[in-house]
Each structure stands twice: as C-alpha cells, then as structure tokens.
Amino acid sequence: MNIYFDNAATTVCGDTVANAVFTAMKEVYGNPSSVHSLGQKAALALDRARSDVAKLLNCEAKEIYFTSGGTESDNWAIRSAALTGALKGKKHVVSSKFEHHAVLHTLNRLEKEGYEITLLDVYSDGIVRPEDAERAIRDDTALVTIMYANNEIGTIQPIAEIGSICRRKGVPFHTDAVQAVGHIPVDVKADNVDMLSLSAHKFNGPKGVGVLYARQRVPLNIFMEGGAQERGRRGGTENVAGNIGLATALTEAVENLEANAAKTIAIREKLVKELLKIPKSRYNGDPEKHLPGVANFCFEGIEGESLLLKLDAAGICASSGSACTSGSLDPSHVLLAIGLSHEIAHGSLRLSFNEQNTFEEADFIIKTLPPIIEKLRSMSPVWERIQKGGK
Amino acid sequence: MPAYSKAVMDHFENPRNVGRIEDADGIGEVGNARCGDIMKMYLKIDDDVITDVKFNTFGCGAAIATSSMATELIKGKTIDEVLTLTNKAVVEALDGLPPLKVHCSVLAEEAVKSALVDYYNKSGRAKPKALEDFKVNGDAHDAPTNS
Ligand SMILES: Cc1ncc(COP(=O)(O)O)c(C=O)c1O
C-alpha cells in the first residue's frame, strides 16, 4: 500500500498524458527539423504543443521555450538577465530568502562572479512584501526573481503586484512558477511577468520537461549552441514526446483546475484541522494565501527523518525539511527563513497532495500520525525537556 | 533519504534499551538540537560492570539505531571493555552507515563516554587514563531553543 502525499516533490503521470507520450514516441518519431513528411508531422505536433501551452499561459507560441525542467528554466532566465544587465553595467539581482536552490545556487554563483544579490525577507507568514521589493530595486538592478509559490510551505506570493512595480521601474521580472502552474490560475499578462519557469512533473506530466516563458521584448540569451531549435536559442533535437506530454498535462490541469482545487483544499482543511490537535504542533506559512495541495507542519521534540521512516513503514510517503533530509547539517532554508528555530525546523513534515488523493487517505494519515509522534517523543530528550517546562 | 542496512532499520524500528534510569550512576548527554541529534545515555554500574543501560534520543534513523546498538554493545561489559568501544565498532555492528550518517556513531561513542565521566565525577573515583582528556565534540547540555 502506498499513500502518496509527496506531490510537491513529483506527481504520477496521468493515463491521458502517458498515452499521449507513448503514442508520440511510437508514431511521431520524425525529427522536427527533417524535410520529409514524418519530420513535418513531428514539427506540427510540436507546434501544437507549443501553442497549447502558450494559450494556457496567455502568451504567444513564440514566447515559449521548451527546456529540461524547472531547474534549467530558472538557470537560463537568471543567467540571461544577468548577462544582459552586465552589458549595461547592471550587476544587481533582487530575490527572496526562500527560493528553490535552482534559483539560490545560481544567484550564489553570480555573487562569486561579481554580482550583488539582495535577498528579501519572507516574514513569519512566508510572504514577500511588494514594498520591500520596490525599496530593494536600484538603478543597477538587472533582474527581480521571486517564486510564484513556495515549494515547502506552499505560500503564494504577490506576483502581479511585484510585477507591476518592476514594469514601472523598467526592471525585468522572472518568477519560478514551478509549484503554481496547473494548481492555481497563472496568466503571464495579468501577472506582469517577463519570464516564467514551469515544470511538467509537478502537474502530472513527465519528468525532465519544462518551459521557460520569455516575453518577446525581453532579451533572451542563447542557452545551448547547436541547431536552430527553439528559435536558435537552445540547440538539440526537441523532446517531442515529452513536450507533448507537458502540453497534455497542462491542458488537463488547467481545464480541471477549479474542481481539482476544491477537492484538494477540502483535504487540506481536514488535515490541518485534525493534525493541529496534536500537542505542540504548528502549521507553517500563511493559511490563506496558499496552494491547495501543500500543508507544512512542525511537531516539537521530534526529528523529521525518523518521522518519515516511520510513516514510510506505515505506507505513507511524505517529506520533511529536517537536516537529515536536506543532506546538510542545517534544516531547510525555507523554514529558517520564516523564523523557525533550528530545533523546531528539524521536526517538520510536508504533506503535499492533489485531486488523486482521497479523504480516506487523509483519514489514514490523521489516524496513523499521532501514535508515531507519541512514540518518537517518548524517547526524545528534547521532548522530556519541553514537558518539564524548560525551554 | 539514505539507504539504511537491515540492521539499522531493525534497531530503528525496535530500539533496544529505550528509557531512563531514575537512580542512574552516570548520565551522559551529547549533541545539540540545533544539529538535529541529541543522545542521552543512563548507566547503572556495579563493581566496574555496566549492569544496566538505557537511552533517549532525538534524531534521525541513524541516531536512534546507533544509540540502540551502542547500548547493546556495552551492556554487561566491564568499564575497561567499554572504554575500548569506538564508533567504528558501532558502525560495523550495524553493517555500515551511509557516509553522511557516520557522525551519529561518533555521537553514540561520546554519549557512552560522557556517561562514564559523569559516573567518575559523581563517585569521586579517579578517572581512568582513557577518559582524562575526553571532550565531546557537540556542545552538550545546550538549551534546545537557542536560535
Ligand atoms: C519551486 C521549484 N523550482 C524549481 C524546481 C526544479 O524543477 P525540476 O525538478 O523540474 O528541475 C522545483 C522542483 O523540484 C521547485 O519546486
């Protein structure tokens, strides 16, 4: 039995999507650059995928660049804006403290290369303030990049507002919308974004496929030299089947967005209500400005990895921001950014779900989790101290 | 997540000697909550023999498994035997640990030694040479919410 509540990590491919990918691989196998009919059939299918995605994001097909996923899209967008800025003597980038590592590590690299980086605070509710963004923008700011929704705590950022400030100040604006697209309405025009990253595997599409949207007026550098694919900016024979899978998954997700969100939010409300009955538990991030399918908790006195191992043994797949699961000595930078102490951040649990999950599964988690926490607490010297009232 | 051996998973799922000893002869606590691992070790010592041992651990799967294995390795042993216990022995007894988790076994060794130091301090007996300049790496007894 597998109760999969780790959909912010990745999702299962839906049947329609898997069939579309399979069919494309078997029947649309021509090279889109070939002159012959099979090649042209592939080129046509690729065009259709591109214009489908464009329509769903409210932009032009020629503003869509297919990539290998969210990480590549983030790297490409940031590198491109940084290089373009540097040509005009602009070497300052504004971002936030709790971006995904695809963004933060790229910014670290830029810093080593002589750029200045300003990381905005995200406050205890996990929301960037537009005023802070406005204040951080300088004459030499080459880019503002703020994620649309956070992958660990699910908080949604005021993207349209920050976008309009950037537009007014003439600064390019990128958003990592990997967790948002397919789950909440995203419209590149209404949101005033110049560049946007998305990734298919977060909305029931295949892994290793993504999109970078780049507004026509915004310069976009060549990412990989090679053939003339992706309008000469990203060489290499296209992942035709994967891109078709992305377009199919996005179409399904957007068509069913409201119904899916309604069910997912109901699951979330149930989980939050019941799990917060556990003593010394807390819910992380603003509960309103929130993705439907992510709920992040901390349980004092226990450590996240041991919690995940016990949940896994009970058939529940989830994730945590503890040090042991982040592969370093520190717990997740997201939880530290919202002001949690190291100790509390170690006891975090992220449940992420979608319309494919059921209320029965949520009930099972609600039933299974408390005794596990109790067991871990019963052997925890930290819990003993908390019980004794010592902090 | 790291791939744990069967032995680690067994000691994690069914930890041996969990608990506290109210009238312990020596108590050692190492690690700190900041890093996500705290081990507390309780010893009963009679005639230089570890007659009983219990532990409490806050930490990952490896932290719990290494604590559990360390208690198994020292129970019934003489202090001299226990002093030869290294973190390597704990790792080997668990059929290996992922590289990132080896520090948990170091913590387990330190928890035992720090409980022995406490025993000597409390009993007023002279510490054996091996414990004279023993220092734990982690700042033990740190208040857990210090950040
Ligand atoms: C917010 C965010 N950005 C970027 C990524 C990276 O996407 P990908 O795995 O497609 O490279 C992820 C997912 O891991 C994410 O959650």
Question: Measured between beta carbons, which residues in chain B are less than 8 angstroms from residue A344?
Answer: 145
* Calpha distance A65→A251 (Å, rounded): 17
pLDDT surpassing 60 at residue B1: no
Tell me if A345 sits within 8 A of A331, measured CB to CB: yes
pLDDT for A232-247, tens place per residue?
999 999 999 999 999 9
pLDDT tens sequence across B97-122: 999 899 999 999 999 999 999 999 99
Q: Is residue A13 annotated as a catalytic residue, yes or no?
A: no
Query: So what's the pLDDT on residue B2?
Result: 60
Closest CA to B41 of B144, B114, B122: B114
The answer to whether B147 contacts A341, with C-beta atoms less than 8 Å apart, is yes
Second CATH level (architecture) for the domain A15-255? 3-Layer(aba) Sandwich (3.40)
Arithmetic mean of pLDDT over chain A? 96
Which CATH number covers residue B71? Answer: 3.90.1010.10
**The residue count for chain A:** 391
Model confidence at B141, pLDDT cuts 50, 70, 90, reads: very low
Shortest distance, CA B143 to any CA of chain A (angstroms): 7
pLDDT class of A328 with cuts at 50, 70, 90: low
Domain A3-10+257-387 adopts which CATH fold?
Answer: Aspartate Aminotransferase, domain 1 (3.90.1150)
Q: Which residue has the higher pLDDT, A73 or A2?
A: A73
According to DSSP, the residues that pair with B52 across neighbouring strands are: B44
Domain boundaries, chain A: 3-10+257-387, 15-255
Rg (CA), chain A: 22
Asked whether the beta carbons of residue B64 and residue A346 sit closer than 8 angstroms, the reply is: no
Cα(B18)–Cα(B8) distance, rounded to whole angstroms?
A: 15
Residues 6+ apart with CB under 8 A from A352: A5, A6, A7, A8, A9, A154, A293, A294, A295, A318, A319
Sign of CA dihedral A36, A42, A43, A45: positive
- The answer to whether position B139 is within a domain reads no
pLDDT at B143: 36
**ipTM of the predicted structure?**
0.90
- Express each pLDDT in B29-53 by its tens digit: 999 877 789 999 999 999 999 999 9
Q: What is the pLDDT of residue B75?
A: 97
Provide mean pLDDT across the span B130-137.
Answer: 79
Which residue in the set A305, A327, A385 is minimally distant from B61, CB to CB?
Answer: A305
Mutate to test the pocket of ligand 1, among A199, A212, A296 (most ligand atoms within 8 A of CB): A199
Helix (H) or strand (E) holding A69: none
* Closest residue to atom 14 of ligand 1, CA basis: A9
| CA distance linking residue A92 with residue A236, whole number of Å | 32
Those of residues 61-90 in A touching chain B at CB distance below 8 A are: none
Which residues lie with the beta carbon below 6 Å from any ligand 1 atom? A 69-71, 74, 100, 102, 147, 151, 176, 178-179, 199, 201, 210
Instruction: Give the pairing of strands A316-317 and A348-352.
Output: unpaired
CB–CB contact B147 A342 (8 Å): yes
- Could you report the per-residue pLDDT of A329-350, keeping only the tens digit for each? 688 999 999 999 999 999 999 9
- The best mutation among A74, A100, A152, A211 to test binding of ligand 1, ranked by most ligand atoms within 8 Å of the C-beta, falls on A100
Mean pLDDT of A25-33: 97
B144, part of any domain: no
Asked if A314 reaches chain B (Cβ–Cβ under 8 Å), the answer is: no
Range of the domain at B97: 6-131
Number of domains present in the structure of chain B? 1
